[in-house]
Amino acid sequence: MRILVTGKNGQLGRSIQKTVNADTKIGNNQSPNEYIFVGKEDLDLSSKSSISHYFGNNDKFDLIINCAAYTAVDKAEKEQELANQVNHLAVKQLAKIANNQQVRLIHISTDYVFDGESNKPYLETDTPNPINAYGRTKLAGEKVLQTAMPMNALIIRASWLYSEYDNNFVSTMLKLGKERDELSVVSDQIGSPTYAADLADAILEIIKHKKFRDVAQTTQIYNYSNEGEISWHEFAKEIFKIEKIECKVNPVTSQQYSTPAKRARNTLMNKDKIVKVFNIKISNWKSSLNTCMAILKQKQ
C-alpha cells in the first residue's frame, strides 16, 4: 500500500515514523508498504487549494492517515476560523477525495467531543456535546467525514496524548518540576493518557488486520487510550515520582485553575470495541509512561 501520513512533525506523526523506521530496520516489515510523511509545508490543511494541488499532483494513495490537526485547545477559542478550517473543512475535502479515489482513510479525533458529564466511560455511540471550540471543530470533522465517506474510513478518538516529543503534559511537567518547588495541578478532571507510540502501534496493527484490509466496511468510530483512570494531578505526581523530582504537587479544582477553553470533567472512554474488532492489546498508563520516560532519559 502507498500510505500518506499527514502531520509528520506532530507527536503522533513522529511516533508513526519511528515505528515504521524501526520495523524496516529490523526487517520486520513484511508488507511492502510505502509511507509518505507530509507536513504543513507539503500539504497545508488550512488551504483548500493546497489540498487539491497536492492530490492533483501525486499518484493515488491506498490509505491516508490524518494525524495533522489544529491542537492548541486554548488558542482555538480565539482562532476558531483556522481551527475549523484544519479540523473540519480540510477533513471534508480529504474525505471527498478519498471517497472519489477509493482511498481508505484513518482520521484521529478526540475525547473533547464529549462534555465530560457522564459518570461512566464513553462509548463510541454516546452523544457528543463539545464544550470548547477545539472540540466543536473536531466533532464537525467527524461528522463531515462520516457523510462524505460512508464506507472505508475509520475515526480513532484518543485522549490526553503525550510522547517523548515536545509540547505535551509530560514535557511541560518535567520542565516546570525542575524549575519550581511546588506546582498546582487540576485534580477534578478524570481521563486516560494516550502514549503516542502505543497509538502508532495500534494504527499499524489495524492496517495489517484482515478486517481493515480485505473487507469493505461502513465508516466506524473507535475509542483508544491507555488503560486506567487518573486525574492530571495524579499524572503529574507519577511523572515526578519516576524522575525523582522533588516538587510538591498541589491539587486544585478546574474552577481555581481557569483556562480560556473549558475542559470536560470526565472523558474516560470505553475501549472494548477496538480491542474486540482488531484484537488490539492496550497497556496500562503507568507502564507506558515509564517507557516514554526511559526514552526521554536516553535522549538526555
Considering only CA atoms, which of 273, 280, 286 is closest in space to residue 234?
Answer: 286
What 129-133 contacts at long range (C-beta under 8 Å, 24+ apart), as own/partner pairs, is 131/262, 131/263, 131/264, 132/73, 132/76, 132/77, 132/261, 132/262, 132/263, 133/76, 133/77, 133/80, 133/83, 133/261
Binding mask 155-174 for ligand NAP (x = CB under 6 A): ---xxxx-------------
51 is a contact residue toward ligand NAP (CB under 6 A): no
Considering only CA atoms, which of 109, 103, 9 is closest in space to residue 64?
Answer: 103
User: Which among 9-17, 26-34, 214-222, 260-268 is the span making contact with ligand NAP, rule CB under 6 A?
Assistant: 9-17
251 is a contact residue toward ligand NAP (CB under 6 A): no
Binding mask 78-97 for ligand NAP (x = CB under 6 A): --------x-----------
Q: Is 108 exposed, middle or buried (0-12, 13-18, 19+ CB in 10 A)?
A: buried
Number of residues lying near ligand NAP (CB under 6 A): 25
149 is a contact residue toward ligand NAP (CB under 6 A): no
Q: Who contacts 269 (Cβ-Cβ below 8 Å, separation ≥6)?
A: 111, 121, 122, 157, 159, 192, 223, 224, 225
User: Which among 19-27, 68-76, 176-184, 268-276 is the span making contact with ligand NAP, rule CB under 6 A?
Assistant: 68-76
Nearer residue to ligand NAP within complex by CB, 163 or 187: 163
CA distance 275 to 225: 11
Question: CB 268 → ligand NAP: shortest distance, Å?
Answer: 13
Binding mask 27-46 for ligand NAP (x = CB under 6 A): ------------xx--xxxx
Nearer residue to ligand NAP within complex by CB, 3 or 67: 67
Q: What does the binding site for ligand NAP look like in residue numbers (CB under 6 A)?
A: 7, 9-13, 39-40, 43-46, 67-71, 86, 108, 110, 138, 158-161
